[in-house]
Structures are given as C-alpha cells and as structure tokens.
Structure 1
Amino acid sequence: MSLSTVMSALELSQSRLGKDTGISRTAINRIVLHGVWPARGTTTAQQAVRACLKKHGASASQLREALAVESAKKLAPGVTAPEAAPEEANAIETPEEEAMLLPPQPLTEATRRHFALFTNPFVGEVTSNAEMFINGNIRFVREVAWQAAVGARMVAIVGESGAGKTTMLDDLKDNILRERKSVVCIEPSMEGAEETDTKGKTVKAVDIHTAIVRTFNAKASVASNAEARSRQVNAALTESCSSGHSHLLIIEEAHALPVPTLNHLKRLHEKMRLGRKPMLGILLVGHPELEKKLARWDVREVMQRIEIARLPPLGADLSAYLQCRASAAGRKLDEFITPEGVDELRSRLTVQGTGEPAQMSMLYPLNINNWMATALNTAADLGAPRVDRDVVRAI
C-alpha cells in the first residue's frame, strides 16, 4: 500500500498534506508521486507526514505500510531488506530519469472539473486535419512518404517511439483517399516479428510475397517454390498496374527486419517493373535502430538506393504543438499552461544523454502529451490555476 493509496482512502489531498506538515507543495508532490523525500531533514518530514496521516484517521497498519514502502525506496546499498537492493539502482537521480518517458495518465475527475474539460486535449489519436500538427520537418516527411506512394520510391521513415510515425502513416492513407489516388497499400503483418527466430518470428521473403498476392486475392494459393512465387507476384502487380493502380508496400516496425530481408526488398523493388516503370513503392517505418542497420556494410546496396527521412523532436515548436492541441479542443493554450511552464517543460525534456556529447531532446508528441496530462493532474491537486514552472518541476 503506497502513501498515495492511503491518502486516497483518507480523502486527503496533497494540498492539505502540505499545509498540515509545512512541507512545500513541490516536495510533497515528489514524495507522493515518486517516493523521493527531501535530502535534508528526511526524518523530520516523515514524522510530520505520519502525524498528519494519523490526524486524518489513518490506522496503524496504514501508517506502517505507507511509510515503509516510501522509505524502502531510499534504503542504502547493503541493507538486508529483500527489496531494497533492486530499488537502489533507480534511487540515484540522473538527467535521463528526470526526463524519462512518462506512461499515459488519464485526467482525474478533479482535473476535468478544475480546467472545465470533458476530454483530454493533449492525448488521443489525430482524427481530423485540425488536430494534425505540421512543421517543416513533418511536412518534409509527409512529402517523402507521398512520393513513395505515388512515385514507387523506396523510403525509410525513422523516429523514436512516440515521434508520430503512426500518425504520419494514418495521414498518408487519409491523403490517398482524399486525393482519390489509386494506390493499393500492402501491409504485411509484423505481429511477433523479431530480428532473429530465437526472440520471435523473422519476416522473410515468402511472407512479403504472400502479403502482396493476398492483398489482391485473399483466397489465393501462394506458390511454395521461390521462382514460381516471384512470377506470381509479378503477374499480380502487372495486372493491377495495367488497370491504373499504384502500389505501396508498407512495413511498420521495420527495425525488426533481418538483414537478408532488407536485401530482398531492394531486389524486389528493382525487379518489379513494367518496362521502365517501377510497380511497387516501399515504405519502411521504424525506430533509429533501422537507420543503424541500414548503415551496415552487408546492407550497403539498400542504403545506396533508399531515401531516409527522420522525425526529429519538436524542439522550438513545442509551444506551437501545444497550441494546436488546445485549439483542436476549442480552447486557448494559456488556459492550461503559462509561457514559463512551457519553457520549463522544454528544459525538463532536454537532457544530457549518457556518453553523448550533445544534449538529447525527449520532445516527442506522445511524451509531451503524457507530461501535459500529468502536469494538469498535478496542478489540480495543488490547487494551481494553471500549469506553471513550479508545477512542472513538481513532476
């Protein structure tokens, strides 16, 4: 049972706990959410929290369990408690931990009432053009993906988790429908796909051939012989191309493709032609590991023929992104967060990576959304009218 669980059972807010103990709201937030006690006066702070909990009706078992759990997170190496040693590795605060990727957090009922919200404007899928944030980098990636679809080019879209790769793919498919382009999207299943068979299932040439053939005929029997299967794929693409269709092979989680399959894709792209016209565009979407894999010597033929487009962090466009999300909900950004709060959020999510000479930005849309949801909940819990610098620092 955690401290936050006990507080919830006692209907005790962080604001009230802070007032009763005299501990700052920032320190209270770190204690409740992360189990991090003040570096100085830890014992005094714990005694004050214990007294407050007891005052609000906490039982002996609640006091014992709540404070024991929170204290265990700060035990030093060498203690005999069975769970203390594993926790110690995470107890040392590093820049990476300060800007870690936060898990999704729904807005509490108190937060929705505090900010007059029925839905969370900083979370959820992009379902309309109004919700689609576009800057120079995103516009470039969109165009590269579009050319793969209509020009049968071989392209790789690379971005960290939460950078917006799935949003970009959905936008591409929506544009194809909106522009009434006759593009057939072929998407092999990547469920359970791994680089080696010891970890999961490798995606091989036969899987890609099967996906192409059955996109045109779901009940088709796919040839077992590699040569016959290649001719079957060529015949299906030729017939469709002669009917005025373009084709785009989309492979998500492409960083999980083994090297032989990447080389096969290059050969497939070159072979599937109708005269001089390529019949199959290829769009690989994956994490930065994909780009590292493409830089290997044994994949050089692919690297020389593929165009790589990267989805970088939002950086200086953080405020514009947040405003876009607020506007899509019919609200103004300053109803939720102050300019100083935005600056602090940018600072918190820009860290010095381990062993890296340059700073590392974690300003990706999904991570920003999760931080904003947490910040709004924290502001409501602290009674702050908006998310400001202090609220962001309390996360």
Structure 2
Amino acid sequence: MLVLKRLLFEAGIRQEDFATRCGMSRTGMGNVLNHRCPTAPSTRRRIDDEVRRTPAIMDVMRGMDIEMRSIWEMAEDEFFSARLRSKLTLAPPVVPGDPTEIEPIHEEEEMLTMKARRQFSLVATPFRNDVREAKDIYLSEDHLFIREMMLDAARRQGFVAVHGGVGSGKSTIRKAVVHELQSEGIRIVYPVIMDKSRITPASLVDAIIMDLTTEETPKRSLEAKTRQALRLLTNRASSGAKQALIIEEAHMLTKAAYKSLKQIYELENGYQRLIGIVLIGQTELKNILDENMHPEIREVIRRVEMAEIEGLGKDVRKYLEHKFGRIGKQVKDILSDDAYKAIGDMMMISDGRNVTSKAYPLKINNLMVRAMNAAADLGEPMVTADVIMNL
C-alpha cells in the first residue's frame, strides 16, 4: 500500500472522503492507495494539492519527517527505515485507561540479599511494591508543590507539563493526583497506547470519547469524532462536571500530537475551557517544549506551564523514615546519623558548570539497598557514612 494510505489513517481521514475531495471515485482511489496503479499526471497533481490543503495530513507528515514526494512510495519499500516504518505501523486500538494502574518502565530496581534481610530483621522489604494505597505515598516539599500545580491544571482547565529524571517520583505524584481528582469527581482521560510516539490526533479524540462515556463508541472520521467529543465535553461542563487529560511519557509525542493538544486545550463552552491537560515526561520534555529548539510548535509551547521535579532534597531522612515505618521498622536502627550527609554527597551530580542534587526516590532506594547489602557483607551492624562512601 502507499504511504499516503497510512497517512490518511493516522490523520483520521476516510478514504472515500479524501477521494471525493480529489474528484475521484472510491474504487479509483482504492486502486491508487493499495496498488500504486498508474496515475495520470493531472490526477497525481490533484492528490498532491489536496494533501497540501489538509492540515491533519501535513501535521502527521511533519511529525514523522516525511517529504511530499515520499507519499507515493510503497510502505514496504526499502525507502523506509525501520524507524519510520515503526512510526507508520497502524496504531493499536485505544482502550479506556486506568491511570492508577499503568506503570511506565523504570530502571531496574536492586534487591536486598537474604543476608542483609536477616541482619536487619526485615521480613518485608521497604522498597518493593511500596505503593498500594494513598497512605503509602510519600511526597517531599518539591513533590507537594508539583502535585498542587497538576491539581490546579485539572481543576481550572489549565495546561501543565511536568518533567524529571527516571525515578524522580513522577508516577508517585501522578497516583496522588489521580486519587485526589477522582475523590472530587473529576473524570480522568488517560490514553493507554504503550508507545506514546504513536499517539495521533484521532487517538487523542478517541481517548476522550471512550473515557467520558460507555454508551457511545467513537465515530469513524476525525471530523465526526471531534464533534462527538465536543458534544460530550460540553454536556459535562454544562452540568458542572470537570475532566482532565493526563499523558505519561509525553516526551515521546510527535509534533502533530502536540499541536492537537493545543486544539483540545482551546475547546470552550462560552468563556469556560472544557478540559485540563497534564503532561508527564522524562527530562527530554524540557527540551521538546523549548521554543528556541522547536519554534515549529511555539503555539503549543506558549500555552504550557513547565514544572521540573528536583527530588527529595532535605527530605531524605523523612522519606526513609516513611519507607521503613511502613514495615514496622525504625530507620535509626539501620542508618547512623552521619549516613545522611554521605547519601546527600552521593546524590550530587556535576555537569562541569553546576552541581545539582539528584536525590530521586528510586536512586535513594537503590543506594540504600546496596549500602545494606554491603554492611551485611562487612559485618557492620548499621549503615554508616563509611559504608556508603565506599560503595
């Protein structure tokens, strides 16, 4: 099949609608798209002109770095690298999301040895499967500030992007935010396509429809499903209900998806916006939403509030007290007082100009596991500064 056919799918445009715009029959367009049948130069020009006049297709092409001449290539041709071919693979169906369950992949967690567990009398481990209910969540002052920004965006139909390194606590904050919003009756729209680079304008609208109602299924064309989503959002807003769109791994989104988010954000009922948007991503999200680096999506960037998760900072002791307290242990029986400064020193990172702390929860967890394992191997009764600095 032609690349053009896949572009139509990604843009949410029906083949028969596109054929009509080009002055062709449905059968004739099907032959062109499926088999690259000989096409008269005049017909090809009409199709090219219609593609250029269709913003949804052009957005998808820009997001995938596809040139105009490439729409006439067969999708199976060697012209397409593995990267482009994976992006053009038909997106999986969107299913209603549960933002309390889906977890992005993190770096591998380290495990306590049996020797360490025996030495410190740990029947349970403090760092694995550690968030099962709201009271298990620990939020530092920085995390609490970020949480309030996310809650405000959801409650007041704002647009915020939160970024931080792996293990910085993004998913933990998301769980706290979702728990709070759901307790207030705010509906969460949560796209669950695993590969966020395959989110399209159409799939975003699908997610809104599927998470707002179980009584309707998304229409076929992008125009029809957009009207359907707008109607559902307007009806909810008129009844006083609120909703928020939350997307994790947002650094993987295409430019076309970002532009669609801007359009979704600007949906209104009178003076009232209809949905808040919260993006969560790795540190790359900061660069993606930098107007100097990506001026082509400046109309999106200028509407987004940015927030960076800086880590636990001075709350490391409270964090560890919380973690060990969950399993009935006191951290003072495991860490000496001088260990905390050593932990802080180990978390300092220099880029040659600035020194910053990366005291992220996952990094603290892994450091503690390594230190407790080392203390057990050395026969040390507690984790001390010397144990930590010699890891």
Q: How many residue pairs align between the two structures?
A: 283
Instruction: Note the aligned Cα RMSD (angstroms).
Output: 2.0
Q: 1:334 aligns with which of 326, 332, 344?
A: 332
Q: 1:309 aligns with which of 284, 307, 310?
A: 307
- Measured against aligned partners, the alpha-carbon deviations of 1:224-266 in whole angstroms (never above 9, x if no partner) come to 3332221111011122223332111111100001112112111
- Measured against aligned partners, the alpha-carbon deviations of 1:130-149 in whole angstroms (never above 9, x if no partner) come to 43333321121111111122
Pairing of 1:66-85 with structure 2 (within 5 A): none
2:202, 2:134 → 1: CA distance? 38
Does 1:236 pair with 2:232? yes
Amino acid at match of 2:262: K
Q: 2:287 aligns with which of 279, 287, 292?
A: 292
- Measured against aligned partners, the alpha-carbon deviations of 1:73-132 in whole angstroms (never above 9, x if no partner) come to xxxxxxxxxxxxxxxxxxxxxxxxxxxx98422222221211111112234333345433
Structure 1: runs of 5 or more not aligned: 1-100, 195-201
Q: Which residue of 2 aligns with 1:156?
A: 161
1:349, 1:232 → 2: CA distance? 50
Q: Which residue of 2 aligns with 1:255?
A: 251
Q: Which residue of 1 aligns with 2:120?
A: 115
* Paired residue secondary structure (2:278): strand
* Paired residue secondary structure (1:120): coil
**Contact 1:102–1:367, Cα closer than 8 Å, also in 2:** no
Q: 1:205 aligns with which of 198, 201, 207?
A: 201
Matched-pair identity in %? 29
2:274, 2:202 → 1: CA distance? 19
Amino acid at match of 2:172: T
Does 1:183 pair with 2:181? no
Q: Which residue of 1 aligns with 2:58?
A: none
- TM-score normalised by structure 2 residue count: 0.68
* Paired residue secondary structure (1:305): coil
Does 1:283 pair with 2:288? no
Pairing of 1:1-395 with structure 2 (within 5 A): 103-177=108-182, 180-194=183-197, 202-218=198-214, 220-270=216-266, 272-295=267-290, 296-353=294-351, 356-395=352-391
* Paired residue secondary structure (1:122): coil
- TM-score normalised by structure 1 residue count: 0.67
**Contact 2:199–2:253, Cα closer than 8 Å, also in 1:** yes
Structure 2: runs of 5 or more not aligned: 1-105
1:182, 1:245 → 2: CA distance? 8
* Paired residue secondary structure (2:138): coil
Amino acid at match of 2:275: L
Mean Cα displacement is larger for which, 128-137 or 284-293? 128-137
Mean Cα displacement is larger for which, 220-229 or 361-370? 220-229
Q: 1:122 to 1:223 in 2, by over 3 A?
A: closer
* Paired residue secondary structure (1:339): coil
- Measured against aligned partners, the alpha-carbon deviations of 1:32-75 in whole angstroms (never above 9, x if no partner) come to xxxxxxxxxxxxxxxxxxxxxxxxxxxxxxxxxxxxxxxxxxxx
**Contact 1:183–1:246, Cα closer than 8 Å, also in 2:** yes
1:254, 1:125 → 2: CA distance? 25
Shift of 1:154: 0.8
**Contact 1:193–1:256, Cα closer than 8 Å, also in 2:** yes
Shift of 1:185: 0.4
- Measured against aligned partners, the alpha-carbon deviations of 1:272-298 in whole angstroms (never above 9, x if no partner) come to 222111111111000121121111212
Shift of 1:219: 6.8
Amino acid at match of 1:330: G
Shift of 1:376: 1.0
**Contact 1:163–1:311, Cα closer than 8 Å, also in 2:** yes
